[in-house]
Amino acid sequence: MGDGELVELEVVDAELVDEAERGHGLVRYAGGPPSAAAVYDEWIGKYRAKSANTAAAYERNFGEWCGWLAEQGVEDVLGVRTRDVEQWKEHLQQTDHPKTGKPLAAASIAQRIAAVSSYYLMARRLEAVQRNPAEDADRPEVDADSSNERELTEDEARRLIATAFGLVPLKTTQDVKRVAERDAEIVAFLLCTGVRVNECINARVEHLGYKRGKRVLSTLRKGRKQGFVALGACTEMVDRRAAGRTAGLIWSTRSGKPLRRSWIYFAIQRIALAAAIPDPHTVGPHALRAAFVMLSLDFGASLYDVQLAAGHSDPRTTARYDRRRHRIDDSPVHLLSHQLLDKQPQQKERLF
């Protein structure tokens, strides 16, 4: 996959999905009746107006639900029972996901049921059903403070950035070097600003400006809320990338098209592998965003300031990162294990 351009096909903005891929929801998924399709259009239209990302995720989740119903021979999407939802949950708990090779985490299953429940809530409001079958379904218990999310250390974050830029001069052609430099800048930008990957993909030259004498990027945050991201030490890098232009994407393919999110995932994981970061396949854009939150708190930033910078609408989201940070760093395991094991005679060789 050379310089990445091979997978950067003629793509639309990362915030959008081709209407041909997402329209006619129930007709495409399970051949539902027009009333079900009408509910779908009303339901997904509501989320598209608020957040394209949420809408895309809910569409995927609902598509999985309808696909499973079709496998069970259920054609009436509006006629399902609570037991159907619970059987789907059990199916998800017992079936290996094709991407990971293992069953979905409890949080992922809960998210899927929440998406389905949201659809039937709309159906009830439109009087297409009398009750929401997912409302009373037994859902997986999710510990809000627990997460399988990858959390980079300060050393790993530094290595990731250093390796990303260190790979640039090793490339063999100017075109490949330009792509490698672009990818390195994106890694540094994601880590140092904590923006979501779509905010990076859609960052535009004309959205650069100044606030209180500081260089900032105007961006559309989650929920389509307008916000500003301070650039800090990324200012020189971003201005150099935008030099001589008054409009257009800050980072794009060589043909000027928006980058695919899949390419950014691939680039980050490739760099993580080169940086000798353990389990590089778990390092993606959200791991860099989590690192921004964790490391900002480590360096003494207040929860409030980190919440604003990360664009968390609810302070409890930022607080969960802080609690997870202390849960690991302050674990008594570190104290006790060193007390017990460090005083044991070291075995030079394996016994068997």
pLDDT at 345: 62
Q: Inform me whether the pLDDT recorded for 342 exceeds 60.
A: yes
Q: 137: phi > 0 → left, psi -120 to 50 → alpha, else beta; which?
A: beta
Domain boundaries, the chain: 19-125, 154-332
Q: Name the pLDDT band for 89 (thresholds 50, 70, 90).
A: very high
Q: 100: phi > 0 → left, psi -120 to 50 → alpha, else beta; which?
A: alpha
Identify the CATH number of the domain defined by range 154-332: 1.10.443.10
pLDDT at 349: 61
Integer Cα distance of 55 and 50 in angstroms: 8
Report pLDDT digits (tens) over 116-152: 999 999 999 888 999 999 998 888 876 655 555 678 9
Q: 276: phi > 0 → left, psi -120 to 50 → alpha, else beta; which?
A: left
Report pLDDT digits (tens) over 91-118: 999 998 887 788 888 888 999 999 999 9
Q: In terms of DSSP H, where are the helices of 215-301?
A: 235-242, 261-274, 285-298
Q: Name the pLDDT band for 347 (thresholds 50, 70, 90).
A: low
Q: Inform me whether the pLDDT recorded for 226 exceeds 60.
A: yes
Report pLDDT digits (tens) over 325-334: 666 677 777 6
pLDDT at 337: 75
219 φ, ψ to 5°? -145, 155
Q: Is residue 203 within 8 Å of residue 254, measured between CB atoms?
A: no
> If you count DSSP H runs as helices and E runs as strands, how many of each does the chain have, helices first?
15, 3
Cα radius of gyration rounded to whole Å, the chain: 23
Q: Strands across the sheet with 225-230, in order? A: 208-211, 214-221, 225-230
